[in-house]
């Protein structure tokens, strides 16, 4: 930003100097406006320094152990494509956790949405109408599941852990019933064409993730909805007395994560060209882990979308490095567990400030 | 400015110094909370610590109780230099502290709280009978036998919780008792009771460090005074008897402040009725009628626990009424619905700033604007600079220190946190403003400013209801006063036609004259 002021500038002709001064003044004005923006970016990077370092370390390990197989464009795209689906779920999860809740049912909702969007009936109708009908189905199913979760928690007074645990069981069960435990192959041609493949050299799925993340960031950091989410998660009683409809807001948060699951289901269906009741297994754990190592407070009141994106990338890159080195899934799980512990320890260190 | 010659005529004269603190420095990131503070306390005296909000009083006593480690400075305890490494060590020496924000565990019983951390046990089993007996004895010593040891602390009133903290402090062998604004949650009667306990203790040779923003209390209970300003000692060892109040205020604030209430407007209140409460009954009160006109300030006086906060919270819809109606501007509010109250333009500044008011980890400006977000949003997107500007303006006029609206509220001193909660409701343009203990823990200078702001809002047509445990405040600020006793209104009339002693009589006896 301030290159011109730090560089030793050669002496100037008077007119030229005046012109430069004017330009500089304008630039200064502009700088002033952007300073805050840059400060925010800087602070963001500062907060996420640990995550950046962790990701860089992983990349180095990948480079050393797998060399070109790791560093190839193809492999990077593979990592991103894998990260995209769980990433979208994690963005939704960030909202719920920031708002003081938790959602254990995300994987099951992904499965149910994927199945419902690919039943023969849905596909036939989509053939007649438009492939977007499948997309809509998944989003509505996801959103509806979230709505049920939210209503049970807000108005039924069931704690989030239990309510979403119940949803986990029943949504997956319903998915099995609907699909008769069979894998449903997508036959609508427009659907796969629309979502598979690349756009500007980057897989469309990754674009979807990017768009969801950016929208998530804007909503959390720049809108009243985001501000209220922080308040509801930080001190629900204070939020209520401040005039926020805490119960309605909580319902909305679960709808948000539900819709995210619907989006993730569509992405998964397009990547695998199938809908299945076994989709999204253990997504809840991966998503919660990514959110927490990203720096969102599990007790609510503080949340970071950027952190979550890093969290997702770290876990996906880790899997990739392990796979490239032919290491077992079990070893991978152990390392994942270690990462979670270290990250949370660091986080509590930071959070444990003396109170006045 | 430091007074070099300690006083000779105090009751504690002749006693050696129990505690000396020399040049204590404590830094927080970006803030010098203590910049070289001296304090010496003698056995058997009540030593008052005065200073504006954010002067460093709480920080100093946290250093003394070893919950903070000082960056520099020396602590001499009974003549020998000491390093207080842990709170446990400080307690072991006989230093007991009651913090500004009570630190009891709601889910435990009175007994369990009193002996928390030093349970009475043998071989790992707690000796419950002995503990209960000792708890009962401690409570009796404090004159509060009515608090039963088996009750859950969360079910007690703030005043009773304060007593439990005292009992906890006294359950150790205490030589120095530190009270950080103990009277903020107490009403006059409770304060009198507290003073009786304090006098008992000093007679037994216990030294007391007493922090309060109520200067008249210092007159009643204090022996000597140390004044802090911006983290430095500006006067130490002043004898209470020889120091006029005006001098104390000048030392604290560095200027002369007239401690006065804003004048009431001359016109009578034949304006429209804004708030109309009819026959409202609820958890701890019954059959309350309350009418507030536009531009009027109505004060609710009464003891802590008389049901005043419950009345406000019920009007606001935060509690469900069992009977009666609340109307704003002629429209009835839905029962038990905060949303309906807020939509009608009602605001409540709650009593408990920590649990009911603040978002501790959020920046000051976010705490101020949270109830008025819509005003700063265009189709859901917030205008941060506008938010900051509005919050800055208000916090400047309330003198929130240190200035700057970007720091988390957690790092502010107690009184400044209170100002932030209040600012939230002053910012929201309400038709009816319900203020529950709006000046709790706020220093003299800022208090006057708060009174002026409240009066200005009323002059703009807001209907204001103020609850305060300080009778003087209710009488000075309000146009009309309601006295509440055990959940019923026992008196209603213009504030100018009743005096403090009459209110106290009513509060105690409740006879309707
Ligand atoms: N944990 C902390 N981190 C950063 N700054 C702090 C912290 N605790 C206190 N401060 C700052 O130190 C200063 C002194 O605060 P302190 O709580 O001691 O004031 P006080 O005299 O007790 O005020 P009050 O009368 O309002 O209780 C204030 O400026 C406050 O903002
Ligand atoms: Mg304090």
Q: Which domain holds residue A116?
A: 65-352
Q: Give the DSSP letter of residue B408.
A: B
Residue with tokens 């309510």: A163
Tell me how many helices (H) and strands (E) chain B has: 16, 24
**What's the pLDDT at A67?**
84
**What's the pLDDT at B269?**
58
Mean residue pLDDT of chain A comes to 84
Please state the three-class secondary structure of B359-394 as a single string. CCCCEHHHHHHHHHHHHHEECCEECHHHHHHHHHHH
Instruction: Give residue-wise pLDDT tens across range B269-328.
Output: 578 899 999 999 988 899 999 999 999 999 999 887 788 989 999 999 999 999 999 999
Cα dihedral sign, A293-A295-A301-A304: negative
CA–CA distance, A56 with A48 (Å, rounded to integer): 12
Instruction: Give residue-wise pLDDT tens across range A284-296.
Output: 999 999 999 998 9
Q: How far is the CA of B99 from the centre of ligand 1 (A)?
A: 13
Sheet holding B232-239, edge to edge: B95-98, B176-180, B207-211, B46-50, B224-229, B232-239
Q: In sequence order, which residues have a C-beta less than 8 Å from that of residue B394 and are 6 or more positions away?
A: B368, B423, B426, B427
Cross-chain residue pair B67–A231, CB shorter than 8 Å: no
**What's the pLDDT at A291?**
94
Mean residue pLDDT of chain B comes to 86
More confident residue, B106 or A268: A268
**What's the pLDDT at A42?**
56
Over 90: is that where the pLDDT of A23 sits?
no
**What's the pLDDT at A37?**
54
CA distances to A137, A255, A280, B236, B379 from A259, rounded to whole Å, are 11, 6, 15, 64, 22
For residue A72, the SS3 value is coil
Over 50: is that where the pLDDT of A278 sits?
yes
| Residue of A238, A244, A301 to mutate, interface with B, max B Cβ within 10 Å | A238
**What's the pLDDT at A13?**
44
Q: Percentage of chain B surpassing pLDDT 90?
A: 38
Instruction: Give residue-wise pLDDT tens across range B424-453.
Output: 988 988 899 999 999 888 888 888 888 988
In angstroms, the separation between the Cα of residue B471 and the nearest Cα of chain A is 26
CA–CA distance, B6 with B466 (Å, rounded to integer): 42
How many structural domains is chain A composed of? 1
Helical spans, DSSP H, in B8-64: 57-64
Residue B208 pairs with which residues in a beta bridge? B46, B177
Structural domains present in chain B = 7-94+174-253 (3.40.50.300), 108-172 (no CATH), 272-345+430-513 (3.40.50.300), 358-428 (no CATH)
Over 60: is that where the pLDDT of A283 sits?
yes
The ligand 1 atom nearest the CA atom of B60: 18
Give the residue whose CA is nearest to atom 3 of ligand 1.
B411
**What's the pLDDT at B1?**
42
Instruction: Give residue-wise pLDDT tens across range B116-159.
Output: 877 777 776 777 888 899 999 989 888 788 889 999 988 887 77
Residues of chain B contacting residue A222, judged by C-beta atoms under 8 Å apart: 381-382
Ligand nearest to C-alpha B410:
1
Over 70: is that where the pLDDT of B479 sits?
yes
**What's the pLDDT at B15?**
53
**What's the pLDDT at B259?**
66
Inside any domain, residue A110: yes
Q: Which of A214-223, B160-169, B258-267 has the highest mean pLDDT?
A: A214-223
CA–CA distance, B364 with B349 (Å, rounded to integer): 16
Q: For residue B161, what are its two tokens?
A: 């919780």
Over 50: is that where the pLDDT of A32 sits?
no
Predicted confidence band of residue A27 (pLDDT cuts 50, 70, 90): very low
Cα dihedral sign, A246-A247-A250-A252: negative
Give the residue whose CA is nearest to atom 17 of ligand 1.
B413
**What's the pLDDT at A347?**
64
Backbone angles phi, psi at A108, to 5 degrees: -65, -40
Q: For residue B438, what are its two tokens?
A: 């709006």
Cross-chain residue pair B101–A356, CB shorter than 8 Å: yes
Predicted confidence band of residue B248 (pLDDT cuts 50, 70, 90): confident
Predicted confidence band of residue A29 (pLDDT cuts 50, 70, 90): very low
Q: How far is the CA of B55 from the centre of ligand 2 (A)?
A: 8
**What's the pLDDT at B496?**
87
| Residue of A99, A215, A356 to mutate, interface with B, max B Cβ within 10 Å | A356
Inside any domain, residue A22: no
**What's the pLDDT at B268?**
62
Cross-chain residue pair A234–B361, CB shorter than 8 Å: yes
Inside any domain, residue A1: no
Cross-chain residue pair B373–A355, CB shorter than 8 Å: no
Inside any domain, residue A27: no
The ipTM value here is 0.77
Inside any domain, residue A52: no
CA–CA distance, A273 with A267 (Å, rounded to integer): 9
Inside any domain, residue A229: yes
Query: Do B181 and B417 touch, CB atoms closer than 8 A?
Result: no
- Burial pattern A206-229, b for ≥16 Cβ within 10 A else e, equals bebbeebbeebbebbbbbbbbbbb
Give the residue whose CA is nearest to atom 5 of ligand 1.
B411
Identity of the residue in A225, A239, A301 whose CB atom sits nearest the CB atom of B361: A301
Residues of chain A contacting residue B374, judged by C-beta atoms under 8 Å apart: 224
**What's the pLDDT at B14?**
45
Q: In sequence order, which residues have a C-beta less than 8 Å from that of residue A58 and are 6 or more positions away?
A: A314, A317, A318, A321
**What's the pLDDT at A28?**
46
Determine if ligand 1 sits within 6 Å of the CB of residue A356: yes
Cross-chain residue pair A222–B362, CB shorter than 8 Å: no
Interface of A with B (CB under 8 A): 222-225, 227-228, 230-231, 234-235, 237-245, 301-302, 353-356
CATH number at residue A190: 1.10.3470
Give the residue whose CA is nearest to atom 8 of ligand 1.
B411
**What's the pLDDT at A122?**
78
Predicted confidence band of residue B380 (pLDDT cuts 50, 70, 90): confident
What is the number of residues in chain A?
356
Q: Percentage of chain A surpassing pLDDT 70?
A: 84
**What's the pLDDT at A26?**
47
B79 by Cβ neighbours in 10 Å (0-12 / 13-18 / 19+) ranks as exposed
Over 80: is that where the pLDDT of A224 sits?
yes
* Cis bond upstream, residue B126 (ω within 30): no
The average pLDDT across B72-79 equals 92
Inside any domain, residue A13: no
Q: In sequence order, which residues have a C-beta less than 8 Å from that of residue B21 and are 6 or more positions away?
A: B37, B38, B39, B40, B60, B63, B64, B73, B74, B75, B76
Query: Do B431 and B295 touch, CB atoms closer than 8 A?
Result: no
Longest Cα separation, chain A: 83
Give the residue whose CA is nearest to atom 28 of ligand 1.
B54
Instruction: Give residue-wise pLDDT tens across range B398-413.
Output: 888 888 899 999 989 8
Cross-chain residue pair B58–A242, CB shorter than 8 Å: no
């Amino acid at each position: 930003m301030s290159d011109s002021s730090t560089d030793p500038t050669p002496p100037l002709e008077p007119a030229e100097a005046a012109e430069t001064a004017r330009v500089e003044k304008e630039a200064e004005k502009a700088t002033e406006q952007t300073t805050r923006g840059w400060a925010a970016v800087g602070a963001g990077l500062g907060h996420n320094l640990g995550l950046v370092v962790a990701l860089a370390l992983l990349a180095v390990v990948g480079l050393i152990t797998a060399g070109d197989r790791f560093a190839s464009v193809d492999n990077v795209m593979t990592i991103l494509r894998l990260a995209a689906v769980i990433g979208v779920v994690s963005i939704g999860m960030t909202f719920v956790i920031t708002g003081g809740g938790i959602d254990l049912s995300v994987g099951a909702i992904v499965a149910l949405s994927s199945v419902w969007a690919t039943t023969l009936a849905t596909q036939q109708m989509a053939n007649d109408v438009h492939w977007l009908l499948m997309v809509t189905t998944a989003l509505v199913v996801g959103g509806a599941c979230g709505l049920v979760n939210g209503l049970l928690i807000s108005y039924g007074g069931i704690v989030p852990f239990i309510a979403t645990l119940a949803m986990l069981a029943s949504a997956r069960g319903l998915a099995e019933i609907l699909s008769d435990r069979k894998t449903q192959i997508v036959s609508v041609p427009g659907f796969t064409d629309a979502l598979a493949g690349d756009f500007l050299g980057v897989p469309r799925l990754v674009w979807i993730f990017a768009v969801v993340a950016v929208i998530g960031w804007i909503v959390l950091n720049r809108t009243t909805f985001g501000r209220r989410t922080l308040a509801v998660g930080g001190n629900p009683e204070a939020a209520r007395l401040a005039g926020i409809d805490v119960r309605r807001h909580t319902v909305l948060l679960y709808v948000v994560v539900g819709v995210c699951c619907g989006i993730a289901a569509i992405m998964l269906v397009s990547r695998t060209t199938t809908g299945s009741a076994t989709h999204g297994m253990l997504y809840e754990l991966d998503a919660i882990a990514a959110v927490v190592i990203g720096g969102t407070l599990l007790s609510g009141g503080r949340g970071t979308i950027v952190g979550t994106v890093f969290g997702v990338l770290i876990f996906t890159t880790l899997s990739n490095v392990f796979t490239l080195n032919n290491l077992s899934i079990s070893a991978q799980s152990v390392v994942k567990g270690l990462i979670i512990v270290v990250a949370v320890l660091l986080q509590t260190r930071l959070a444990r400030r003396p109170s006045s | 400015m430091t007074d070099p010659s300690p006083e000779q005529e105090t009751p504690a004269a002749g006693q050696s110094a129990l505690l000396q603190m020399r040049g204590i420095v404590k830094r927080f990131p970006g803030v010098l909370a203590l910049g070289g503070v001296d304090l010496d306390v003698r056995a058997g005296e009540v030593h008052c610590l005065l200073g504006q909000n954010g002067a460093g009083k709480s920080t100093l006593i946290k250093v003394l109780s070893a919950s903070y480690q000082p960056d520099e400075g020396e602590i001499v305890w009974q003549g020998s230099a000491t390093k207080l490494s842990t709170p446990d060590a400080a307690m072991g020496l006989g230093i007991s502290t009651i913090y500004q924000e009570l630190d009891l565990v709601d889910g435990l019983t009175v007994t369990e709280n009193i002996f928390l951390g030093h349970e009475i046990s043998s071989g790992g089993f707690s000796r419950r009978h002995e503990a209960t007996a000792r708890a009962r004895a401690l409570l009796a010593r404090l004159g509060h036998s009515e608090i039963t040891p088996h009750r859950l602390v969360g079910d007690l009133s703030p005043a009773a919780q304060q007593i439990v903290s005292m009992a906890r402090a006294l359950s150790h062998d205490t030589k120095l008792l530190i009270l950080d604004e103990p009277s903020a949650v107490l009403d006059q009667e409770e304060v009198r009771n507290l003073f009786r306990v304090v006098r008992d203790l000093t007679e037994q040779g216990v030294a007391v460090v007493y922090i309060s923003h109520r200067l008249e209390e210092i007159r009643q209970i204090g022996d000597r005074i140390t004044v802090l300003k911006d983290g430095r000692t500006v006067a130490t060892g002043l004898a209470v008897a020889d120091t006029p109040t005006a001098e104390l205020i000048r030392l604290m604030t560095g200027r002369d402040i007239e401690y006065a209430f804003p004048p009431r407007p001359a016109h009578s209140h034949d304006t429209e009725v804004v708030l109309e409460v009819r026959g409202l009954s609820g958890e701890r009160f019954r059959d309350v009628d309350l009418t507030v006109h536009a531009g009027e300030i109505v004060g609710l006086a009464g003891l802590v626990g008389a049901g005043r906060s419950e009345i406000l919270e019920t009007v606001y819809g935060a509690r469900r009424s069992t009977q009666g109606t609340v109307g704003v501007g002629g429209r009835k509010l839905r029962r038990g619905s905060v949303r309906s109250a807020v939509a009608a333009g009602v605001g409540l500044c709650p009593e408990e700033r920590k649990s009911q008011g603040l978002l501790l980890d959020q920046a000051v400006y976010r705490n101020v604007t949270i109830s008025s977000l819509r005003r700063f949003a265009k189709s859901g997107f917030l205008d941060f600079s506008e938010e900051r500007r509005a919050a800055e303006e208000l916090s400047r006029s309330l003198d929130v220190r240190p200035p700057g609206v970007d720091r988390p509220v957690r790092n502010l001193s107690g009184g400044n946190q209170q100002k932030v909660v209040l600012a939230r409701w002053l910012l929201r343009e309400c038709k009816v403003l319900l203020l529950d203990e709006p000046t709790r823990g706020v220093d003299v200078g800022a208090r006057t400013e708060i009174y002026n702001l409240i009066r200005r809002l009323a002059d703009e047509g807001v209907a204001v209801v103020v609850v305060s445990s300080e009778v003087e405040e209710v009488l000075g600020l309000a146009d009309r006063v309601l006295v509440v006793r055990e959940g019923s209104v026992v008196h209603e009339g213009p504030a100018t036609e009743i005096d403090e002693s009459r209110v106290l009589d009513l509060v105690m006896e409740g006879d309707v004259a």
